[in-house]
Structure 1
Amino acid sequence: MGEARVDGRSVLREQRRDAILASTRGLAMTSGPGGFTVDEVAAAAGVSRRTVFNHFPTFENLLVAVCEQVLAQVTDQLLQAIDAELENLPSDASRHVAAVDGLCAAVRDTDLPTAMTTIVSIVGEDHEEQPRGQAISQTALDHVGRRLVAQVQAHVPDIDALVLGLTVAFLMNGIGVIARRWVKEYAATVTPASRRAWRGYMTRLTDQLAGGYRGAIERGPR
């Protein structure tokens, strides 16, 4: 009986968390970034202000969680793509380079523009005088990066963890830089032309990273 009550509380907590995230996303889409308050989120979710902060210590934490939710579907697709890219790695030492090549190819080919457009509508476009949106979206991307590292390590446990971690960190930060430029040039609108531009930027990013991680893996730890 006690275990059932615990499970019931866990379900209720998860339902409240989902309601808070859904309300935040809905308010952001209709009112725009910064156009709503925690009290409005609580009212829309049918919970108290205190409950919102029990789940998310700060408003920024809440927005990061919403961005992660937006990225969740594309992240699942990305992890599947990494599995496909790394399914038939060579058996010799070149498998380490091939694994990171596969990771970069999977990230390059994933449909990130749609997700980034939604994130912009939630946190706003990046401005030098308003860096909060950039920090929030980058934090969400960094969380995705940690999942990518774990996925590659599951396929290649003996890969140089430092080289992999640095490559993914540079990759996630590069995506942030690309996203900010892409938003300014295409007003966060997904069209065939903007998709081609995104793809071109991502190809330049992964090509630039390749020279660094390939050399580092071949040299080995110092």
Structure 2
Amino acid sequence: MAAPAGPVDPPPGPPVDRRAALKAKSRKAILDAAADLMRERQGTGFSVDELAAAADVSRRTVFNHFATLADVATEVAGQMLVEVVDRMSARAANDEREPDTVLADLAATSSGDHLVPVVVELFGILGGEPQPGEREALLMQRAFNLFTERMTAAMTGRHPDVDALAVRLLVAAFCGGLLGFVHLWIEETGAADTPGSRRAWDRFVGRVTAVLREPGT
């Protein structure tokens, strides 16, 4: 009788591409350093040389990964926006209040106490300019698009008896209203987080809710 076979070595995995791994490591270092600089300086007020030094890479390495400093900032801002929006939507998903109407829940979740701190952070990430450029405006729109997606999921979960399409349309209209007034709020308050700016935000939210109709339950 043949002896039982010994343990079989697992098949070898794909060969490690050291060059690709090093490239990915350098790219991550650049993005992490850029994120730190953007938070520290509330915008993109740093040079390629400063970024390279912070990432511990050469200036040439930065340009091997990104054509311009603006491209670095755009990618970092996009990642930051996802983090900010996830915090915004997580608050809605974990809300322990008893479900009210969809519109009332949207208004409560989007109150000044909830959103002003993250909008101020978002404003800083995008450069802190009262009149945003094209890139900043697109990133702000991206943030609110993400917020709309997350809020749609949260509100659909909180209101399973309401028609899903009605919820989707109402959330889209509500979040579009927020995007429509956010720059007016920035002009009025300077994007400062104060009791007065939170009251101003709530006033704008009230204007949005006043023109929307609640879907039937």
Range of TM-score over shorter length? 0.5 to 0.7
Q: Percent identity?
A: 28
Residue 93 of structure 1: aligned partner: none
TM-score (norm 2): 0.68
Give distance in 1, aligned partners of 2:113 and 2:92: 6
Within a 5 Å distance, the mapping from 1:1-222 to structure 2 comes to 22-36=32-46, 41=51, 43-46=53-56, 49=62, 58-59=71-72, 60-81=74-95, 84-86=97-99, 98-108=101-111, 110-124=113-127, 125-127=129-131, 130-157=133-160, 159-209=162-212, 211=213, 214=214, 217-218=215-216
CA spacing shift, 1:126–1:102, aligned 2, 3 Å: same
Which structure's CA Rg is the greater one? 2
CA spacing shift, 1:41–1:148, aligned 2, 3 Å: farther
Check whether the contact 2:89–2:147 (CA below 8 A) recurs between aligned residues: yes
SS at the partner of 2:110?
helix
Give distance in 1, aligned partners of 2:50 and 2:161: 49
User: Normalized per residue, which structure has more helix?
Assistant: 1
Using the TM superposition, give the Cα deviation of residue 37 of structure 1 relative to its aligned residue in structure 2, in angstroms: 5.7
TM-score (norm 1): 0.67
CA spacing shift, 1:36–1:173, aligned 2, 3 Å: farther
Q: Deviations over 1:124-179 (max 9, x none)?
A: 33537x22212102201211221111122223445333322222222222222322
SS at the partner of 1:76?
helix
Task: Judge which range, 188-197 or 117-126, deviates more.
Answer: 117-126
Residue-pair matches, total = 191
Using the TM superposition, give the Cα deviation of residue 112 of structure 1 relative to its aligned residue in structure 2, in angstroms: 1.2
| Gaps in structure 2 of 5+ consecutive residues | 1-9, 17-23
Check whether the contact 1:108–1:203 (CA below 8 A) recurs between aligned residues: no
| Gaps in structure 1 of 5+ consecutive residues | 7-12, 90-97
Give distance in 2, aligned partners of 1:37 and 1:123: 16
